[in-house]
Amino acid sequence: MASELEPEVQAIDRSLLECSAEEIAGKWLQATDLTREVYQHLAHYVPKIYCRGPNPFPQKEDMLAQHVLLGPMEWYLCGEDPAFGFPKLEQANKPSHLCGRVFKVGEPTYSCRDCAVDPTCVLCMECFLGSIHRDHRYRMTTSGGGGFCDCGDTEAWKEGPYCQKHELNTSEIEEEEDPLVHLSEDVIARTYNIFAITFRYAVEILTWEKESELPADLEMVEKSDTYYCMLFNDEVHTYEQVIYTLQKAVNCTQKEAIGFATTVDRDGRRSVRYGDFQYCEQAKSVIVRNTSRQTKPLKVQVMHSSIVAHQNFGLKLLSWLGSIIGYSDGLRRILCQVGLQEGPDGENSSLVDRLMLSDSKLWKGARSVYHQLFMSSLLMDLKYKKLFAVRFAKNYERLQSDYVTDDHDREFSVADLSVQIFTVPSLARMLITEENLMSIIIKTFMDHLRHRDAQGRFQFERYTALQAFKFRRVQSLILDLKYVLISKPTEWSDELRQKFLEGFDAFLELLKCMQGMDPITRQVGQHIEMEPEWEAAFTLQMKLTHVISMMQDWCASDEKVLIEAYKKCLAVLMQCHGGYTDGEQPITLSICGHSVETIRYCVSQEKVSIHLPVSRLLAGLHVLLSKSEVAYKFPELLPLSELSPPMLIEHPLRCLVLCAQVHAGMWRRNGFSLVNQIYYYHNVKCRREMFDKDVVMLQTGVSMMDPNHFLMIMLSRFELYQIFSTPDYGKRFSSEITHKDVVQQNNTLIEEMLYLIIMLVGERFSPGVGQVNATDEIKREIIHQLSIKPMAHSELVKSLPEDENKETGMESVIEAVAHFKKPGLTGRGMYELKPECAKEFNLYFYHFSRAEQSKAEEAQRKLKRQNREDTALPPPVLPPFCPLFASLVNILQSDVMLCIMGTILQWAVEHNGYAWSESMLQRVLHLIGMALQEEKQHLENVTEEHVVTFTFTQKISKPGEAPKNSPSILAMLETLQNAPYLEVHKDMIRWILKTFNAVKKMRESSPTSPVAETEGTIMEESSRDKDKAERKRKAEIARLRREKIMAQMSEMQRHFIDENKELFQQTLELDASTSAVLDHSPVASDMTLTALGPAQTQVPEQRQFVTCILCQEEQEVKVESRAMVLAAFVQRSTVLSKNRSKFIQDPEKYDPLFMHPDLSCGTHTSSCGHIMHAHCWQRYFDSVQAKEQRRQQRLRLHTSYDVENGEFLCPLCECLSNTVIPLLLPPRNIFNNRLNFSDQPNLTQWIRTISQQIKALQFLRKEESTPNNASTKNSENVDELQLPEGFRPDFRPKIPYSESIKEMLTTFGTATYKVGLKVHPNEEDPRVPIMCWGSCAYTIQSIERILSDEDKPLFGPLPCRLVGLVLAFPALQCQDFSGISLGTGDLHIFHLVTMAHIIQILLTSCTEENGMDQENPPCEEESAVLALYKTLHQYTGSALKEIPSGWHLWRSVRAGIMPFLKCSALFFHYLNGVPSPPDIQVPGTSHFEHLCSYLSLPNNLICLFQENSEIMNSLIESWCRNSEVKRYLEGERDAIRYPRESNKLINLPEDYSSLINQASNFSCPKSGGDKSRAPTLCLVCGSLLCSQSYCCQTELEGEDVGACTAHTYSCGSGVGIFLRVRECQVLFLAGKTKGCFYSPPYLDDYGETDQGLRRGNPLHLCKERFKKIQKLWHQHSVTEEIGHAQEANQTLVGIDWQHL
């Protein structure tokens, strides 16, 4: 350490302190060359203040720097004492209306989903709370640091740009006022001088690259040989590597190494050694050598101490500048001016440029300091923000390239400021027009992706890890492009048009490089050897998706731009696919007299690519054109004539055929990469600019060409042309049995093709394709998602495409189509489709995956059955197409289509002769249905002058022409209606025929039409079917009823189990006492039941039989039989603690006999209630132990239970257990003969006898421990003791229990001893039974609390067998009873304790006088208690408070003693087996009287004192003399008051963001003001902890543990309940190895939690869920919960919970 340096440092300090800031400033004011003067000052003093030793002394350095260096500057600037100068400046200032608060890591930020221009516009918490947005739909996130509050920025908000605080000044602000007018000329001049010098100095020294030489004007005369070995941060090496290397290189401890590594990670650099050059060089070489093996070495420099000193001060200066400009906007303006002023070297020589351009060379700490300065200066000044934006844009290419080659995260790069600049709409527009920003960004991006194939397309094959890393960084450029495009222009200037189109050109160039990239060829024969790289191309596509959409949005906002863009896009597409390429030979196709020329091309044989962004962009623009006015008014302006429809459709069609073939299994040998690509092609993240646009492109094509031609080309590409063009080809085909696979393949291909046709005709919900708006589109998406099943909000959001603002548009329509169902205690809120929306369901909705389609079909059919409707799912009625697409519908009535339909129906009719499938038929039926719907609509909307040209009904009624003479489609449908093998499709065929007739009727509106004939047949048909139908209906009703009952039953059962989990587990056991109550209830209800004393109710003995869960054998529970045991779990507990700071200091010496009223640490026992034979359990446990030992040796796996600690899982319910409880009869039954009350001593006599006995025993104990005493002496003294009659100290009662039960009793007792005291088990320790009793007492109290808190009756379903068995211990351990009956003893002890407790209550009762005067005369109890209180008053020497009213006293005694009475009732119930009185089981009332009578107490408890006044008075007097009582009464200590209040988890705020805010202000307690990364809140005591971090690890029992684990030991004796604030996640911990996450008690408005805070919806406290967590805690079920979670999810077992 620096101890030897100390005196020298001290000396310097004194000389430094003698400096006078005022004098220096005065000298500077006189100076002719101020720069030289200041530099000399700095050259002299800076090295004297900074870097004087191996470790920095930040406080001292700051103090001296302020005094010697900054002070003079402030004096100079103000021209007077800055203490007066700055406040003056501040007063004269007209503050900016921008908030500009820079966010700390973890600070909450808010954005308004209604008003924010884009999601990057955020508010700080203070501004948010004062804004109008708090009542809007807002989004909440935690900041990653950097970035600032946009409050006051009118461009960031559509509405409400100011909060209340920042609005104050807006009225005064007239346009742009020069802030300098508020400053005097002198101040301006001086500020300018000092800013220019200091800013230049800081820039110069920070960008200085030499390691041992200073800039000439700072060089010192004498230079010492003191150097630093400086270690820099990189993102390549891990924490562990750095720590390990440092320990080796500089010989430090692990703790020091951790400290170094933490600072390096935070600040970007840290000196790890101080000394002469050689010494530092040596460390450097070790570090470099040690870290250069696999990667590039850690960066280390040996730097002269004076350079480091100047750099440290340089940083200090920048922060100082940042704080000085806070005084006045004028000062800020001057700094901006200084920063942007061009230097002597021309272009790029301003200070700001110089900093930006050396950004990647600076270390993290330096970067963030100057970034912050930029944010608080340049970005806060509207004028200079613009100028800075220009500088940023001009340097853009260079900055991005630096960033790409640098390895620091984006947030530490100056390139990250792009978000602050580009998202300002006016700046973005200016940069586009003046700096051609769009083109620059796109070109910079392209420059970094240099790998191209022969055609100039991107090539990602064989790209290295380094390239992959670079590729990831390059992607941030796409983000920049997104920022620039985020707000669409409302007005277009010619320059903007020109520059946008230039940018569009660049963009097309980019897309051109993607068109056709990653082509694939079908693998036949061999499986592919290596999965080809495909992710990079898709990543690019995915990242560009929003940009492509935004480009289209921009185009859509101006028709001129749109038409130009369309032309450009078309031209590029022609370049890509102009003309035939080699090997594409023209062929002619013909069907039904139509013929078309096309090329020979097979997807299954040639190259094909999924990436067609140019085609898709054109499709998008085409739709926009279709929507625009030009399309209607001046179609001649459109370049439609230049289009070649076959060329347009070719590539999208190939892509769709590829999907069909993959689905048909033809591409299996191409491996998973292709499957993945197809998946993403349809996925919600990509489909909008992939699959959807391909469908649009085909729709465009069909609408512009003869549909027959289209269909023939389509058949050809699907490789199905032959099947449909050659008559009876299908028959021949199916007969070739050898080609079974091929038959299957072709069937699938036909299905897929029909599906595609359905989509082409049916998908008209994009505005521009059909006559719909955006709302219709989103509604339809939601309807189809909810047709699958009811969904939670987040599920729906995930299934819908998001726009660049992360909006799906769902909120605006959801109410119209769905009902919301609130969540219960678990689960989420759900949206359910409104029934009336079901008719819009389309089975062939194009965004369904196959699985979704079949789920939706099933769900919809089930719904129809429930509504007793037929199960047909006919196509819905569709909106009309836009004019540009209108002719598309003709595809349905085209000859080729009718031929396809006819052929397939024919196959179905002759169903044995052909290969066909039901799905095929189903699709044909759907298509026919669509055609009918279409014709119906045409007829409905027909106007007089128009002729309906859609004549599908006529066409399908006509039979085929000669020579085929095939029957008409209609005829075939009628035939199929009766086909027995088509039962499922009958409803649909019936629907088609019905609709056909309706349409026909509409067409031939005259009533005497031949239609009646057809209808007649159908009528007949239906009457024939009537009987059958009726029978069917009845059967169906019966089936439904059955189903419903079954569902109800299982639902009820499930619900019941869920709600009564604990109860359910308990009822599995045959609870003897409960069943006894039930059996004898008629007897019991007649008399008063008394649990003890002379009046104790005698209960006839019952026999009890239980079944072992392991061997299924039944056995009677008897004293002498083999033991039956229950699995049990013993744990330490602080749940009831009133003093968490107290814990057992020395467990070896701790005396557990007296249970302190603060219950600071107890031992809790719980059981799942499952019964086993003791020997069965032994065998089970041994085998578990053996298995785990083998497993651990082999795999070193963790389990959810720790076998070495005696833990196991209940073999039935897997409940965590660590011991067993033997099953016993109520113990007092065994001593029945000794419960005699005749001739027994009264309380006074009994106490006397007992104290004699105790004295005797104590004496004997002492004798035993002093062995040299003769035995003779012993007997003499015994005589002196006057032993009571019949007392034999050496009496050992006979143990009634079997050996096996005895053994199990010991097992359990030892477990409580071991766990409760945390010591090694020792059966002989006399504390074993005491710990066991203690556990019994603690557990009863905790049961009583749970029942009271939940307002449940005392003898509810919670059995506590514990009592019985715990009280069995006396049988093993007790001494003689000297003729006094056990019953008497019980009664007297109980009365005595009750009285003592009453005294306790009275002494501690704080009777707040509420001034309520009593009206009635005092009752008997009141006067009695008043008398007792007076006695107490007297015995305490009047230290007790003045006498309150009797009414109050009696009230507090009653309230205070209730918990005790309840516990006692539970205790005696289980001890003596007396059933509980039915009155007590009624919930709600207090039952004071019932309890008293059950417990053999007088209702007026004070009577106990009166009856035994003789002995009691002396006892009370002695109690009152106790010194602690005195101290309490004198106010020297606190005492527990009764009734003890139940402990609760801390109060959580209603709004989650206030927790986030609280946590963001929390800094790590150990690393000096650093923000904690994982702030975690203890829900038990409210402490905030710095979790999951090296800085706050501590040693616990020889192991390093995180802050949470350490905290559990002091706060929850090993068990902890936490809230991880940043993750919004509850954490349960138990011991060092057990933990799990639990769902948080915060829900959003949709009834969902947000673990990880990913969605950002406002979160509010759900009280019920929080209560559930509290209940888990009260019930001591946290450990059990963890066990269950870990059993269910094995990955939880592997987490190092102790590091949290």
Site residues, Zn ion (CB under 5 A): 99, 101, 112, 114-115, 124, 127, 133, 136, 149, 151, 163, 166, 1108, 1110-1111, 1168, 1170, 1173, 1176, 1210, 1212-1213, 1215, 1564, 1566, 1578, 1580-1581, 1583, 1586, 1589, 1591-1592, 1611
For 1153-1162, b/e burial (b = at least 16 CB within 10 A) is eeeebbbbbb
Give the C-alpha distances (Å, rounded to integers) separating 403 from 378, 417, 652, 686: 21, 12, 37, 28
| CB closer to Zn ion, 1458 vs 1586 | 1586
Binning the chain into helix, strand and coil, the percentages to the nearest 5 are: 55, 10, 35
Q: Which residues contact 1094 (CB under 8 A, 6 or more apart)?
A: 1237, 1383, 1387, 1496
Contact 49, 16 (CB under 8 A): yes
> Smallest gap, in angstroms, from Cβ of residue 1574 to Zn ion?
9
| CB closer to Zn ion, 114 vs 1696 | 114
- The whole-angstrom separation of Cα 134 and Cα 1034 is 58
| CB closer to Zn ion, 846 vs 1628 | 1628
> Smallest gap, in angstroms, from Cβ of residue 1557 to Zn ion?
13
323: left (phi over 0), alpha (psi -120 to 50) or beta: alpha
* Cα radius of gyration rounded to whole Å, the chain: 44
- In 894-985, which residue ranges form alpha helices assigned H by DSSP? 895-909, 918-940, 952-957, 969-977
- The whole-angstrom separation of Cα 764 and Cα 771 is 8
Q: Which residues contact 1023 (CB under 8 A, 6 or more apart)?
A: none
| CB closer to Zn ion, 292 vs 1183 | 1183
Q: Which residues contact 526 (CB under 8 A, 6 or more apart)?
A: 669
- Chain centroid to Cα 922, Å, comes to 43
> Smallest gap, in angstroms, from Cβ of residue 1252 to Zn ion?
48
> Smallest gap, in angstroms, from Cβ of residue 1306 to Zn ion?
20
First to last CA, the chain: 32
Q: Please tell me what DSSP assigns to residue 70.
A: I
> Smallest gap, in angstroms, from Cβ of residue 1212 to Zn ion?
5
Q: Which residues contact 1548 (CB under 8 A, 6 or more apart)?
A: 1555, 1579, 1619, 1641, 1661, 1666
| CB closer to Zn ion, 147 vs 829 | 147
- The whole-angstrom separation of Cα 461 and Cα 1202 is 50
> Smallest gap, in angstroms, from Cβ of residue 261 to Zn ion?
14
> Smallest gap, in angstroms, from Cβ of residue 72 to Zn ion?
34
| CB closer to Zn ion, 1095 vs 1688 | 1688
> Smallest gap, in angstroms, from Cβ of residue 1615 to Zn ion?
10
Tokens standing for residue 1662: 């759900």
Give the pairing of strands 1216-1217 and 105-112.
unpaired
| CB closer to Zn ion, 156 vs 1529 | 156
> Smallest gap, in angstroms, from Cβ of residue 1066 to Zn ion?
10
| CB closer to Zn ion, 757 vs 1168 | 1168
- The whole-angstrom separation of Cα 163 and Cα 151 is 7
DSSP string, 1296-1308: -S-HHHHHHHHHH
> Smallest gap, in angstroms, from Cβ of residue 1681 to Zn ion?
15
> Smallest gap, in angstroms, from Cβ of residue 365 to Zn ion?
19
| CB closer to Zn ion, 169 vs 676 | 169
Q: Which residues contact 1321 (CB under 8 A, 6 or more apart)?
A: 1310, 1311, 1313, 1314
| CB closer to Zn ion, 112 vs 1615 | 112
Give the pairing of strands 586-591 and 594-599.
antiparallel
| CB closer to Zn ion, 101 vs 1462 | 101
| CB closer to Zn ion, 1212 vs 1372 | 1212
| CB closer to Zn ion, 69 vs 1128 | 1128
Tokens standing for residue 15: 């000389």
> Smallest gap, in angstroms, from Cβ of residue 1089 to Zn ion?
31
Contact 917, 751 (CB under 8 A): yes
- The whole-angstrom separation of Cα 532 and Cα 534 is 6
> Smallest gap, in angstroms, from Cβ of residue 1365 to Zn ion?
17
| CB closer to Zn ion, 799 vs 1219 | 1219
- In 268-395, which residue ranges form alpha helices assigned H by DSSP? 277-291, 305-324, 329-340, 351-357, 364-376, 382-394
- Chain centroid to Cα 1376, Å, comes to 63
> Smallest gap, in angstroms, from Cβ of residue 1593 to Zn ion?
8
| CB closer to Zn ion, 133 vs 385 | 133
> Smallest gap, in angstroms, from Cβ of residue 1611 to Zn ion?
3
> Smallest gap, in angstroms, from Cβ of residue 1140 to Zn ion?
7
Contact 425, 155 (CB under 8 A): yes
| CB closer to Zn ion, 163 vs 242 | 163
> Smallest gap, in angstroms, from Cβ of residue 1606 to Zn ion?
11
Contact 542, 473 (CB under 8 A): no
- The whole-angstrom separation of Cα 503 and Cα 511 is 12
DSSP string, 666-735: TTGGGHHHHHHHHHHHHSTTTGGGTHHHHHHHHHHHHHHS-HHHHHHHHHHHTT-HHHHHSTTHHHHHHH
| CB closer to Zn ion, 1168 vs 1520 | 1168
Q: Which of 957, 976, 977 is nearest to 967 (CA)?
A: 957
| CB closer to Zn ion, 810 vs 1123 | 1123
> Smallest gap, in angstroms, from Cβ of residue 93 to Zn ion?
17
